[in-house]
Amino acid sequence: MKVLALVASQRKLGNSEILAKEMLSALPDTVEKEMIRLTDLEIQGCKACYACLAEETGCVIQDDLHFFLKKVQEADRIMICSPCYFLGEHTVLKKLGDRMLSVLKKGRNFSAKKCVIAVCYGVEGWEGYALEAVHNFASFLHLQVKGKMLVRAANPGEVATPAILQKARDLAWCLLEDRRFEQEREALTCSVCNSSLLQLLKDGTVRCPMCETTGNLQKDGSDYMIIVQEKGRNRFSAEVLTEHAKKLDQIKENYIANRRELKKVRERYAAYDDWWVLPERGKS
């Protein structure tokens, strides 16, 4: 078995790296272990060309995305460790995530792989949606998230306390055992994807914008709970992601069919191109 740890942090021996190494070291020596520092990869921004939507093709941009996907496909289990930056995930995960169009129809290459997630944040109350964002990244890679932990640790090394490291080891073992790791959170969470990013709709319905589960808020003694109305299909299943890719195919076909008319609309705005400004480089 091969376990791949993805570290989304520039810091050497920072908290994300320490958690990844602690989790890997907790696994038996019979497990083959690899790590990728995602900030070492050269990843360009998505060009929204939709050339990758065909099931038999990949992204046409020649950068390290292909190496990244190859390593994920070769691994049997995945760990993702990321810091929280400005209430969300590290930039490198967002940049990689924007390129996941190329794997929407390729769920068979990833869907059997278990994944665990660890996210560090620095200031109390400022964890934002970082944990949900990393979970979202894993889901678009067709990974099965078996557990995740959120840790408050700002300065490099602060994560290395006995209690936190023990939780990390327990989390790692979810990759080998048939169980989930659920960290208790103060906020109400979605019973399907454990997201705390919930919407209260005007009719009183609670909606999870991550997996689209809906439910009702009910009193449970002194606390509240969300009663799920109907789980329905998982937005992140291979079937639904493939359907999403087909919808994007239709959008692309509609553009091709109407591109002459759309070009005329767009050309009206070319007259304003003298408003662009660029930074001045190379001047002392």
Task: Tell me the domain boundaries of the chain.
Answer: 2-183
Give every strand in the sheet of 77-83, ordered side by side. 32-37, 2-7, 77-83, 114-121, 144-152, 181-182
- Give pLDDT, residue 37: 96
Closest-CA residue to 46 (of 142, 144, 140, 145): 140
φ and ψ at residue 10, rounded to 5 degrees: -75, -25
Partner residues linked to 115 by β-bridges: 78, 145
Kindly give the interhelix angle for 15-26 and 162-173, rounded to the nearest 10 degrees.
50
**Below-70 pLDDT ranges, the chain:** 183-185, 230-233, 282-284
CA-closest candidate to residue 82, choices 144, 19, 170: 19
Give Cα separations from 78 to 9, 88, 225, 261 (angstroms).
16, 20, 31, 46
pLDDT of residue 17: 95
Please give the Cα distance from 124 to 120 (Å, whole number).
Answer: 11
Q: Which pLDDT score, from 0 to 100, does residue 235 have?
A: 78
pLDDT at 81: 97
CATH number of 2-183: 3.40.50.360
Q: CA–CA separation, 226 vs 235, rounded Å?
A: 19
The predicted pLDDT at position 208 comes to 84
- State percent of the chain over pLDDT 90: 50
- Provide the pLDDT for residue 213: 81
The DSSP call for residue 45 is P
Residue 32: per-residue pLDDT: 97
Q: Which residues pair with 150 in a beta bridge?
A: 119
Residues with Cβ within 8 Å of 104's Cβ and at least 6 positions away in sequence, in order, are 53, 140, 241, 242, 244, 245, 248
Given this model, what pLDDT does residue 284 score? 58
Greatest distance between any 2 Cα atoms in the chain? 68
